Amino acid sequence: MAQNKIENYFLILFSLIPISIIIGPSVSLSNILLIDLSFILFLIYKRDFSFLKDKTIKLILLLCVYLIFNTIISQDSLTGMARNFGFIRWVIFFGALNYFFYDKIFINKVFIFWTILISILCLDIYFESYFGKNILGFGGVEFGKRIVSFFKDEPIVGGYMNAFYLIIVGYLFFKFKDYSKKYQLVILIISLFFILAILLTGERSNTIKSILAISIFYSFINNFNLKEKIFCFSSVLILLIITIMSSDFLKVRYINQIFNHNKKNENMQVNIKENIFKQNIFAQYQKDRYFHAYRSGLIVFKDHLFFGVGNKNYRIASCKNYNKKDNKYYDKYICTTHPHQTYIEFLSEHGLLGTMLLIFILFKLIFGHLKIMRKSNNYIQLGCLTYLIVIFVPILPSGAFFGDSNLTLFWLNLSIMYAVNPKTNIFNKSIRKLN
């Protein structure tokens, strides 16, 4: 009886994760910390911390140790201290999710709730795309017709959808794996339903990532033969193109702005080197902010080659010579919170040595069990893996990797990827003993 109450308690906490992220970072953080604290108390009650001996946990702990070291060598230790020392929560969260998602009944209950929630969010995107505001009245011209949905004051719903829709699609294939081909085709249509919603948000980088992710996902599933995959992929591309061409807003976002920027950049290349160090750079090149944010990040990296400026310290290094009164720059950096690209963020804040260590640990966590995952044909696991892969696609803009929201989505997918397969779950040997 007590065990059932504990499981139901954690079932509620895990089920609420997507909602907590939508409400805001503070609520999401509180939910994660509540899961962590509850799991620690649960393990104290069980008197068993044997999972800490697992190699995967040790690798994540190594990442924690590095981030503590990064705090010490940072330009401003206080700025990144909470982020670096707080990283330990993901070790505990990883363990908690692996423990409870070992149970298929538990997984099924959580994913049913998530499927309903993400479907409602998806419908809300379509609603806002048509009416200009979502069902709660959020959105409008202040975001240039970009979709905000339930996020109210931030057009980031496309990135959020990216983190969940493949989990849902993978779950549906898992749920209906023994059904006829027509059920598989229905799931394919549902996939398209999600992709079109992300396209409608106007988030170009996340749209590209979603198309790339779904292409990788369907390339590795065995439910369709090669001809069916080619036909489906072609149909998806045609439908996406038709959708873009039928909307003036989408044509501006996905065609006009991209090609106009490229043409503009070609004409500006000659003058950029002369102008980049002059005053009022931000105002002059605001429309090409990603290009200059990348360049600024690389300059920060060049000036702090080996260890970078420290986690969350890019904003300190890039904004220290910004004159707010005159809106002018007296240095070579562009004042932003982060360089808007994962690899450049790593290089500028962690330097060459730190970036090598980060990439080694993260890629080891993501690809360390690739052979096992390939043989298992676990489509939930494949969905999470695909999301983790597209996060690290070069060049494309991204949010701050170590920002609360992005880090939550990353560790949620990484934890689920390990947990849903008994061969990769860190409790695969000791779960019975803990029960």
Angle at 420 between CA 34 and CA 189, to 5 degrees: 105
Please give the pLDDT value at position 120.
Answer: 97
Q: Look up tokens 């998530």; give the residue.
A: 114
Whether the per-residue pLDDT at 81 is higher than 60: the answer is yes
Structural domain span for residue 419: 119-249+377-434
Is position 189 within any domain?
yes
State the DSSP code for 335.
-
CA distance 11 to 333: 47
Whether the per-residue pLDDT at 273 is higher than 50: the answer is no
State the DSSP code for 285.
T
What residues are paired with 323 via a beta bridge?
328
> Which two structure tokens, joined as six digits, stand for 403?
């920002």
Considering the entire predicted model, what is its pTM?
Answer: 0.88
Mean pLDDT, all residues of the chain: 85
Is position 8 within any domain?
no
Q: Look up tokens 């419908």; give the residue.
A: 123
Whether the per-residue pLDDT at 281 is higher than 60: the answer is no
Please give the pLDDT value at position 67.
Answer: 96
The total number of structural domains in the chain stands at 1
Is position 188 within any domain?
yes
Task: Report the largest interatomic distance among the alpha carbons of the chain, rounded to a whole angstrom.
Answer: 73
CA distance 329 to 315: 14
- Which one has a higher pLDDT value, 122 or 256? 122
Q: For 92-117, what is each residue's pLDDT tens digit?
A: 999 999 999 998 899 999 999 999 99
Whether the per-residue pLDDT at 266 is higher than 50: the answer is no
Residue closest to 155 by CA, chosen among 342, 344, 345, 399: 399
In sign, the C-alpha dihedral spanning 76, 80, 85, 87 is: negative
pLDDT above 90 covers a percentage of the chain that reads 54
Q: For 140-163, what is each residue's pLDDT tens digit?
A: 655 567 899 999 888 899 999 999
Q: Are 349 and 312 in contact (CB under 8 A)?
A: yes
Is position 130 within any domain?
yes
Please give the pLDDT value at position 216.
Answer: 92
Mean pLDDT of 174-197: 86
Is position 86 within any domain?
no
Whether the per-residue pLDDT at 87 is higher than 70: the answer is yes
- pLDDT band for position 320 (50/70/90)? confident
Is position 352 within any domain?
no
Q: For 290-319, what is each residue's pLDDT tens digit?
A: 777 888 889 889 989 999 999 999 988 888
CA distance 308 to 53: 32
- HSE (side-chain half, CA atoms, 13 Å) at 270: 2
Mean pLDDT of 345-356: 95
Question: Among 40-44, 75-79, 124-128, 209-213, which is the least confidently predicted range?
Answer: 75-79
Amino acid at 210: S
Is position 424 within any domain?
yes
Is position 326 within any domain?
no
